[in-house]
């Protein structure tokens, strides 16, 4: 009974955007409005003072970008909200893709001046592939931005979803007066300032046609009224099923920095976003309300606390209840995991966790027992699917200045590889390790971390390969024959899966033609 109740009140979602759209600002405001933090500006200030919740790593501080995703939990109304931050920079999109596998919904932040940007588009494609429901927040209405009709038209066209405006802006920039709430049929008046919180009074106007109102807001209001008429005519009705299937997205306009429009987003998350649903394992479908615990590792973060050198595995609970001290098993290795030091992410502090339920994210400190995509259960042999690994698009070789440090290099690369920060390949012939990444910044992060966390000065040099494909075959002998025949182009990844390396796409096509029994994969899902 409690499990049903607890699962039902969970909302687990990721916040996604192109860098600079206002994700950090909105995250902070959501925490503020939910009462999880009390001082506006703390997430931002920490970001500025180079200590944001999500900025664990030095490199983020230097570049002011979020590399690592982080998790925040808050209670709002009678719901428990788990908010997963994602790195906006495309070089870390692999990390973001994995985070998206751990959520039930996504909140997309769009900069009203820029519309749908490249990175938003890529992330959205991942959401669409998984039918993740999406709520859209169009930010920065206090600036001179694009026409709202134009914006929603672009969202529809580029993202291939019906937009359902829940609010509509009245004016923009200096004459941004507020939003018309299409659900409640009233206007909420905009007041600039970042110091308000959810408890403050918002001025609400019910009769927009009152002469004094028309006079107060002038042209902006008349124009907004015409636009609203247009959308009411043209836009389809909001349909909960279409939203849950990722075909419709509710759209809100606001200004995160001015705390405007945030409350509506929070309320919508609670009212419309889904509670945790069933998840697919290779063996069967797992319901969140099943009594027994099961969960999947979607992220590993090493050395979050440099003093402890610990590694935290972020686990999405897929079913059941977690209680401190319960026995959990890693299905892949059969090893037991100690759960008395498991942490929660309540309002940004890492705290020891007593209980958690399906939908929650828990952090398990470990020393290498847990890997990405591992399934944890109370004993049942389950393997959750769907955690993607993408074929690297850039390869570099790695060597060290001091050969005496080669052990540390290996340790560092193994751990960073297990974290998914980089992919490490061991060549079939020779001993020089290859590093593979989707974005070039990943190499910077890795060299930096090798130096500061493992004391290894690594030299990274371009490798001659540009492409990799995981290779499989129904007949193991056929695969072996392929590997032997192409030995100089074969390397093994962290779980010893063989990959075929190429410098040009044409080489892959040729190999595909010559070896019909071999399958070439761009993406690997851990099993
Ligand atoms: P992120 O990179 O997506 O996390 O974006 P940030 O939250 O760091 O915001 C990027 C910049 O936009 C910062 O300078 C913010 O102060 C600014 N910003 C965020 N929200 C608003 C807004 O509603 N209006 C205006 N004018 N600026 C905003």
Q: What is the pLDDT of residues 52-90, one digit of tens each?
A: 333 344 444 444 434 344 788 888 999 999 999 877 666
Confirm or reject: Cβ of 100 under 6 Å from ligand 1: no
- Does the C-beta of 320 come closer than 6 Å to ligand 1? no
Give the residue, 415 or 424, on which the prediction is more confident: 424
**Interval between CA 442 and ligand 1 midpoint (Å):** 25
What's the average model confidence in pLDDT over 217-239? Answer: 91
What pLDDT is attached to residue 310?
Answer: 67
Range 296-319 average pLDDT: 79
* pLDDT higher than threshold 90 for residue 120: no
> Is 472 one of the annotated binding-site residues?
no
- Coil, strand or helix: which one is 349? coil
Look over the chain and give the mean of its residue pLDDT values, rounded to a whole number.
85
pLDDT at 270 over 50: yes
Distance 87 CA to ligand 1 centre (A): 15
486 lines ligand 1 (CB under 6 A): no
Tokens of 56: 């664990």
**Total length of the chain:** 527
Whether 403 shows a pLDDT value over 60: the answer reads yes
Does ligand 1 lie within 6 Å of residue 140's CB atom? yes
Q: If residue 362 lies in a helix (H) or strand (E), which one and from where to where? A: strand 361-366
Sheet containing strand 394-400, edge to edge, reads 458-462, 394-400, 434-437, 423-427, 490-492, 498-502, 467-472, 519-521
Burial class of residue 62 (count of CB atoms within 10 Å of its CB; 0-12, 13-18, 19+): exposed
Q: Which residue has the higher pLDDT, 47 or 228?
A: 228
| Ligand 1 contacts CB of residue 331 (under 6 A) | no
User: Is the beta carbon of 21 within 6 A of some atom in ligand 1?
Assistant: yes
Q: What is the Å distance from ligand 1's center to 114 Cα?
A: 13
> What mean pLDDT is predicted for residues 230-252?
92
Higher pLDDT, 311 or 75: 75
Q: Which two three-digit tokens encode residue 448?
A: 């930096």
Does residue 140 have a known ligand-binding role?
Answer: yes
C-beta of residue 356 within 8 angstroms of C-beta of residue 321: yes
Report pLDDT for 349. 54
Question: Among 17, 111, 254, 257, which is best to mutate for testing ligand 1, by the most ligand atoms less than 8 A from CB?
Answer: 257
Distance of CA 268 from the midpoint of ligand 1 (Å)? 22
- 496 annotated as ligand-binding: no
Mutate which of 14, 22, 63, 172 for ligand 1 pocket (most atoms within 8 A of beta carbon): 22
Residue in this structure with the two tokens 């769907």, named with its chain if needed: 386
* ipTM, interface predicted TM-score of the complex: 0.99
Least confident of 345-349, 407-411, 442-446: 345-349
pLDDT of 268 higher than 90? yes
Average pLDDT over residues 504-516: 95
Output the six-digit token pair for 491. Answer: 């390397």
Identify the residue whose tokens are 């909200």: 81
d(CA 312, CA 29): 27
Q: Which atom of ligand 1 is nearest to the CA of 260?
A: 23
Q: CA 276 → CA 76, 128, 152, 386, 502, distances in Å?
A: 17, 18, 29, 16, 41
Distances (CA, A) of 185 to 164, 181, 446, 484: 15, 5, 52, 70
Residue 133 in marked binding region: no
Residue of 416, 418, 435 lying closest to 426 (CA atoms): 435
| Distance linking the first and last C-alpha atoms of the chain | 33
Q: Which whole number is the average pLDDT over 471-491?
A: 95
Minimum mean pLDDT range among 115-124, 377-386, 510-519: 115-124
88 lines ligand 1 (CB under 6 A): yes
CA-proximal residue: ligand 1, atom 15 (nearest): 22
C-beta of 19 in contact with ligand 1 (< 6 A): yes
Q: How far is the CA of 20 from the centre of ligand 1 (A)?
A: 6
Which of 20, 41, 50, when mutated, tests ligand 1's pocket best, judged by the most ligand atoms within 8 Å of its CB?
A: 20
> Is the shortest distance between the CB of 17 and ligand 1 below 6 Å?
yes
Query: 105-111 and 10-17 as β-strands: parallel, antiparallel, unpaired?
Result: parallel
Q: What is the pTM of this model?
A: 0.82
**Which of 17, 24, 25, 45 is the pocket-test mutation for ligand 1 (most atoms within 8 Å of CB)?**
25
88 is in an annotated binding site: yes
- Say whether 141 counts as a known binding-site residue: yes
Least confident among 149-163, 208-222, 292-306, 477-491: 292-306
Cβ pair 378, 292 in contact under 8 A:
yes
Q: Give distance in angstroms: CA of 226 to centre of ligand 1.
A: 29
Q: Which atom of ligand 1 is nearest to the CA of 143?
A: 26
Q: Please identify, by atom number, the ligand 1 atom nearest to the C-alpha of residue 139.
A: 23
How far CA 259 is from CA of 80, 194, 200, in Å, comes to 21, 6, 11
Is 21 one of the annotated binding-site residues?
yes
Q: Does the Cβ of 524 fall within 6 Å of ligand 1?
A: no
- Average pLDDT in the 432-441 region? 85
Q: Is the pLDDT of residue 333 over 80?
A: yes
Helix axes 441-454, 406-419, angle to 10 degrees: 130
pLDDT band (50, 70, 90) for residue 94: confident
């Amino acid at each position: 009974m409690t499990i049903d109740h607890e699962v039902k009140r969970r909302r687990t979602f990721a916040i996604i955007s192109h860098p600079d759209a206002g994700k950090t600002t909105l995250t902070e405001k959501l925490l503020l409005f939910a009462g999880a933090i009390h001082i506006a500006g703390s997430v931002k200030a920490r970001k500025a003072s180079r200590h944001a919740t999500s900025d664990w790593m030095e490199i983020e501080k230097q570049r002011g970008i979020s590399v690592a995703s982080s998790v925040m939990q808050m209670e709002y109304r009678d719901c428990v909200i788990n908010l997963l931050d994602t790195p906006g920079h495309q070089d870390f999109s692999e990390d973001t893709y994995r985070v998206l596998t751990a959520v039930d919904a996504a909140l997309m932040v769009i900069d009203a001046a820029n519309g749908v940007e490249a990175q938003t588009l890529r992330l959205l494609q991942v959401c669409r592939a998984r039918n993740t429901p999406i709520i859209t927040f169009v930010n920065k209405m206090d600036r001179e931005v694009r026409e709202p009709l134009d914006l929603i038209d672009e969202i529809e066209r580029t993202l291939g979803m019906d937009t359902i405006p829940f609010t509509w802006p009245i004016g923009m920039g200096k004459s941004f007066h507020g939003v018309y709430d299409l659900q409640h049929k009233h206007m909420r008046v905009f007041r600039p300032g970042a110091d308000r919180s959810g408890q403050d009074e918002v001025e609400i106007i019910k009769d927009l046609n009152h002469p004094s109102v028309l006079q107060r807001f002038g042209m902006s209001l008349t124009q907004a009224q015409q636009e609203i008429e247009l959308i009411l005519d043209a836009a389809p009705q909001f349909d909960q099923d279409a939203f849950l299937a990722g075909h419709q997205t509710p759209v809100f306009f606001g200004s995160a920095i001015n705390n405007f429009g945030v409350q509506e987003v929070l309320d919508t998350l609670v009212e419309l976003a889904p509670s945790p649903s069933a998840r697919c394992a290779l063996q069967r479908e797992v319901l969140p309300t099943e009594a027994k615990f099961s969960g999947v590792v979607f992220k590993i973060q090493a050395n979050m606390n440099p003093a402890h050198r610990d590694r935290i595995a972020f686990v999405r609970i897929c079913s059941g209840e977690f209680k401190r001290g319960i026995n959990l098993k890693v299905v892949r290795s059969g090893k037991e995991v100690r759960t008395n030091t498991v942490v929660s992410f309540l309002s940004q502090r890492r705290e020891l966790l007593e209980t958690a339920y399906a939908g929650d994210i828990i952090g398990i400190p470990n020393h290498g027992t847990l890997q990405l995509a591992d399934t944890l259960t109370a004993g049942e042999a389950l393997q959750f699917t769907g955690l993607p690994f993408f074929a690297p698009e850039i390869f570099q070789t790695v060597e060290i200045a001091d050969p005496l440090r080669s052990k540390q290099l290996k340790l560092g690369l193994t751990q960073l590889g297990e974290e998914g920060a980089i992919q490490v390949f061991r060549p079939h012939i020779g001993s020089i390790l290859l590093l593979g990444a989707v974005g070039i910044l990943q190499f910077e992060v890795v060299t930096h971390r090798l130096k500061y966390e493992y004391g290894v000065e690594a030299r990274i040099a371009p490798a001659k390969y540009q492409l990799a494909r995981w290779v499989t075959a129904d007949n193991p002998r056929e695969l072996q024959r392929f590997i032997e025949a192409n030995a100089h182009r074969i390397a093994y990844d962290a779980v010893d899966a063989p990959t075929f390396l190429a410098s040009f796409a044409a080489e892959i096509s040729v190999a595909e033609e010559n070896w019909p029994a071999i399958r070439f994969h761009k993406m690997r899902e851990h099993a």
